[in-house]
Amino acid sequence: MKILGIDTTTRFLCLGLYDGGKFYEYRLETGRKLSSLLVPAIQRVLSASGLEASDMDYFACGLGPGSFTGMRIGLAAIKGLSVALGRPVAGVSTLDILAEGAPDEYSRIVPAVDAKRGLVYCASYVRRRGILKRLGRYSLLSIGEFARNFSGSAILGDALESYRQELSLRMKGVTFLDKDYWFPSTSGLMKLAFAKIRRGETEKPEKIKPIYLYPKECQIKRTL
């Protein structure tokens, strides 16, 4: 099985390639240059592995929530490859990828992605017997709502860059993970994509959609 996966929902491009047990990983901080760097990065990883896009059996993509522009660019690229080559796509939530990257020692995990405007994209997860399970829905919450809902958890994600001090004053029994856990990992993306593919949870490119928690009018929407 061969899988090419990307996540472009944050300021880091995560790009992974799985080839029958071999794993290639590429991570690059792109800032505002994602659109010009994505295709060359894909070509570079494929070339290094000695493969072509047409060799892939599946494609995978981070669906957000996260950067609107990043989600659109990444999903457009994967849809283009999928349509052109007739391959299915495994879509993975960026919040799931973040939670997957949390150290095993934590049983209650809450990824928190900065949604700007004093809001946070988030979800709650519990780890039981080594298996991570999401509790409830992906949410868009104010800082106050977030603080009221997730005491006693390990919190990770780039929202801590802006709101860590405020959250530390409002919340009890929390652990704030350091910057190594604030952004999606390529290994997390590929692990979750591989699991979805094994379960048969893939989609045709025209069916797959990004996870938008802001409505089109950009008013607050709390849950998906």
Report the C-alpha gap between 89 and 203 in whole angstroms. Answer: 5
Topology of domain 95-181, CATH:
Nucleotidyltransferase; domain 5 (3.30.420)
| Predicted confidence (pLDDT) at residue 221 exceeds the cutoff of 50 | no
pLDDT at 12 > cutoff 70: yes
Residue 182, classed as helix, strand or coil, is coil
Q: Topology of domain 2-94+183-198, per CATH?
A: Nucleotidyltransferase; domain 5 (3.30.420)
Task: Report the SS3 class of residue 96.
Answer: helix
pLDDT in tens, 114-140: 999 999 999 999 999 888 999 999 999
Residue 223 has pLDDT above 80, yes or no: no
Euclidean distance between CA atoms 128 and 162, whole angstroms: 30
Tokens describing residue 7: 């996540």
Q: Is 109 helix (H, G, I), strand (E, B) or coil?
A: strand
Phi, psi at 141, each rounded to 5°? -125, 155
Instruction: Say what the pLDDT of residue 21 is.
Output: 85
Domains 2-94+183-198 and 95-181 share a fold: yes
Q: What is the pLDDT of residue 216?
A: 61
Domain ranges for the chain: 2-94+183-198, 95-181
d(CA 48, CA 60): 19
Q: For residue 214, what pLDDT is reported?
A: 85
Average pLDDT over residues 72-101: 97
Using one digit for the tens of pLDDT, what is the confidence trace for 161-181?
Answer: 999 999 999 999 999 999 999
